[in-house]
């Protein structure tokens, strides 16, 4: 039996999903995660909303981008993002570049009528993020800011429990995002340590994820008081060099949050939590129950309910791999756990669904409006750290 006939016999008539031409700018950490997701979706989720046709890949270094092209399976490569945006076969522009390169390619892609997925934080500040939001709205294209933590099944379950009222009235949100990958003062400079390329340090890199979870799980943030700190003031210009360059962003940030609807929250983000790898703690406390999640235990959600009989009250560890759980029907049997890369498959599947249907990624996915509002919170926190005053946030859009 040939492949086509086998598919037809197991699934009914052969389904032929549409294809969508993808152009990827930036092929390193995130570019690899996105490319893997685009390719792997249809192995597990059939029929996909659209099959990603990997048309073009862009990076600065000719040899490296050629290697990435053959490794990931794109049809062509270029060192010019403008050429990629102008490519008529590219319908979707995936911007996986450092933060200083989000604005211009996104504006150009929107003007060219391309659908866009852009990595987080959307802009280096709220002005950039707002310009991107206005551009995609003007163009009427589908847009997504790549907050992939929204696609962790345990966090989708957390959101469902909150929305179903299982936690009652929400009082507290608590996020603590701790890493230590750059705690060594001799770990060299990268774009992540320069204000002009990154915007913020740990605050933008890690804190934007925490702020997104705060907004997505609890609601809009009304005011913020913040403190940022740089512990390692300079770093070698490159590995092993004696020459050092000043670090112009934060290594850590703390904040108090007040949500518009009443809950309060705390935020702690750091690149200097020795021993922590990708420890992203999210806790929510309500009048009826509490939730606890830690990204280093990605498949687990801890849930406490005051509605349980008193003799069994306590935090329950829920292994979020059951059929009844988010994405439970597309994966392996219960208990066969998922990894971080699967969150990108969920994310890209969601994005391609919106692209194929010509619609929006909200409310599950983050739009450029979410990206803009996220930037307003980060800017407010930095302003509060500078002035020592609480900042009431205003959203222009
Ligand atoms: N969602 C997440 O969990 C997550 C994780 C890490 C990074 N990010 C975000 O993803 C984005 C990229 O981060 P990364 O860690 O992949 O960075 P990286 O340094 O690993 O990769 C950046 C890529 O951009 C390319 N690039 C740089 N300048 C370019 C130019 N002028 N033209 C074309 N290509 C250019 C580089 O060649 C490289 O391929 C950032 O916005 C970052 O905040 C998100």
| Cα distance between residue 174 and residue 111, in whole Å | 39
Q: Which pLDDT score, from 0 to 100, does residue 7 have? A: 38
Cβ(281)–Cβ(294) under 8 Å? Answer: yes
Q: Which pLDDT score, from 0 to 100, does residue 13 have? A: 64
Q: pLDDT of 262-303, one tens digit each? A: 999 999 999 999 999 999 999 999 999 999 999 999 999 999
- Region of 153 please: left (phi>0), alpha (psi -120 to 50) or beta: alpha
Q: Which pLDDT score, from 0 to 100, does residue 6 have? A: 36
- pLDDT over 50 (residue 160): yes
- The secondary structure of 67-89, three-state, reads HHHHHHCCCEEECCHHHHHHCCC
| Cα distance between residue 100 and residue 26, in whole Å | 12
Whether residue 210 has its Cβ less than 6 Å from ligand 1: no
Q: Which pLDDT score, from 0 to 100, does residue 9 have? A: 41
What are the structure tokens assigned to 273, written together?
A: 């939590």
Cβ(291)–Cβ(158) under 8 Å? Answer: yes
Q: Which helix (H) or strand (E) holds 195?
A: helix 195-198
| Cα distance between residue 70 and residue 61, in whole Å | 14
> Which ligand 1 atom sits closest to the C-alpha of 147?
1
DSSP 219: -
Cα of 22 vs centre of ligand 1, distance in Å, is 17
Q: Is 316 helix (H, G, I), strand (E, B) or coil?
A: strand
Cα of 327 vs centre of ligand 1, distance in Å, is 27
Q: Which pLDDT score, from 0 to 100, does residue 15 have? A: 73
Burial class (CB in 10 A: 0-12, 13-18, 19+), 233: exposed
Which option is the CATH number for 153-297+299-336: 3.90.930.12, 3.30.360.10, 3.40.50.10490, 3.20.20.140?
3.30.360.10
Q: Which pLDDT score, from 0 to 100, does residue 16 have? A: 86
> Which residue of 26, 108, 121, 350 sits with most ligand 1 atoms within 8 Å of its CB, as the best mutation to test the pocket?
26
327 CA to centre of own chain: 18
Backbone angles phi, psi at 372, to 5 degrees: -65, -50
pLDDT more than 90, % of the chain: 96
Domain chopping of the chain, boundaries: 3-148, 153-297+299-336
| DSSP states along 12-62 | SSPP---EEEEEEE--SHHHHHHHHHHHHHHHHSSS-SSEEEEEEEE-S-H
Q: pLDDT of 2-36, one tens digit each? A: 333 333 344 566 678 999 999 999 999 999 999 99
> Which residue of 24, 25, 28, 192 sits with most ligand 1 atoms within 8 Å of its CB, as the best mutation to test the pocket?
28
| Cα distance between residue 158 and residue 302, in whole Å | 9
What are the structure tokens assigned to 257, written together?
A: 């949050």
Q: Is 206 helix (H, G, I), strand (E, B) or coil?
A: helix
Instruction: Judge if the upstream peptide bond of residue 225 is cis by omega within 30 degrees of 0.
Output: no
HSE at residue 254, side-chain half, CA atoms within 13 A, is 3
- pLDDT over 80 (residue 73): yes
| Cα distance between residue 104 and residue 131, in whole Å | 10
Q: Which pLDDT score, from 0 to 100, does residue 125 have? A: 98
Burial class (CB in 10 A: 0-12, 13-18, 19+), 370: buried
Region 163-171: mean pLDDT is: 98
Regarding beta strands 279-286 and 244-246, do their DSSP bridges make them parallel or antiparallel, or are they unpaired?
Answer: unpaired
Whether residue 205 has its Cβ less than 6 Å from ligand 1: yes
> Which residue of 25, 96, 122 sits with most ligand 1 atoms within 8 Å of its CB, as the best mutation to test the pocket?
96
Write down the number of H helices and E strands in the chain: 12, 17
* CATH of the domain spanning 3-148: 3.40.50.720
| DSSP states along 255-276 | EEEEETTS-EEEEEEES--TT-
Instruction: Calculate the alpha carbon distances from 283 to 119, 193, 213, 216 in Å.
Output: 25, 29, 10, 13
Whether residue 344 has its Cβ less than 6 Å from ligand 1: no
Q: pLDDT of 298-317, one tens digit each? A: 999 999 999 999 999 999 99
- pLDDT over 60 (residue 186): yes
| Cα distance between residue 131 and residue 106, in whole Å | 10
Q: pLDDT of 227-273, one tens digit each? A: 999 999 999 999 999 999 999 999 999 999 999 999 999 999 999 99
Q: pLDDT of 318-361, one tens digit each? A: 999 999 999 999 999 999 999 999 999 999 999 999 999 999 99
Instruction: Calculate the alpha carbon distances from 236 to 28, 194, 323, 385 in Å.
Output: 22, 13, 50, 27
Cβ(55)–Cβ(75) under 8 Å? Answer: yes
Those residues whose C-beta lies under 8 Å from the C-beta of residue 173, and which sit 6 or more positions away, are 214, 217, 218, 257, 259, 263, 264, 265, 266, 282, 283, 284
């Amino acid at each position: 039996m040939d492949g086509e006939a086998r598919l037809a016999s197991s699934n009914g008539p052969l389904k032929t999903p549409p294809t969508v031409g993808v152009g990827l700018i930036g092929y390193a950490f995130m570019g690899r995660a996105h490319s893997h997701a685009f390719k792997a979706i249809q192995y597990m989720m059939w029929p996909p909303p659209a099959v990603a046709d990997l048309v073009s890949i862009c990076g600065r270094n000719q040899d490296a981008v050629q290697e990435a092209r053959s490794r990931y399976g794109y049809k062509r490569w270029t060192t010019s993002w403008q050429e990629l945006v102008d490519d008529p076969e590219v319908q979707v522009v995936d911007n996986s570049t450092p933060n200083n390169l989000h604005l211009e390619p996104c504006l150009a892609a929107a003007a060219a009528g391309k659908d866009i997925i852009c990595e987080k934080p959307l802009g280096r500040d709220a002005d950039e993020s707002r310009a991107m939001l206005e551009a995609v709205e003007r163009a009427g294209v589908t847009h997504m800011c790549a907050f992939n933590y929204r696609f962790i099944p345990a966090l989708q379950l957390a959101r469902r429990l909150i929305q179903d009222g299982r936690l009652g009235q929400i009082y507290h949100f608590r996020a603590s995002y701790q890493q230590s990958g750059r705690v060594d003062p001799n770990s060299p400079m990268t774009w992540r340590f320069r204000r002009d390329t990154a915007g913020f340090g740990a605050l933008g890199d890690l804190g934007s994820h925490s702020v997104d979870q705060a907004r997505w799980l609890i609601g809009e943030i009304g005011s913020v008081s913040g403190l940022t700190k740089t512990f390692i003031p300079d770093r070698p210009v490159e590995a092993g060099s004696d020459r050092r360059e000043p670090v112009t962003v934060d290594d850590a940030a703390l904040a108090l949050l007040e949500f518009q609807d009443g809950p309060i929250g705390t935020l702690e983000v750091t690149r200097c939590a020795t021993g922590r790898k990708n420890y992203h703690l999210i806790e929510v406390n309500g009048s009826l129950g509490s939730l606890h999640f830690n990204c280093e235990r990605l498949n687990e959600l801890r849930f406490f309910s005051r509605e349980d009989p008193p003799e069994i009250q306590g935090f329950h560890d829920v292994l979020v791999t059951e059929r009844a759980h988010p994405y439970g029907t597309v994966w392996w049997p219960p208990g066969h756990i998922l990894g971080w890369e699967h969150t990108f498959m969920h994310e890209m599947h969601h994005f391609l669904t919106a692209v194929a249907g010509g619609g929006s990624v909200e409310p599950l996915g983050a739009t450029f409006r979410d990206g803009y509002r996220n930037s307003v919170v980060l800017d407010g926190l930095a302003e509060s750290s500078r002035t020592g005053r609480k900042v009431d946030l205003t959203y222009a859009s």
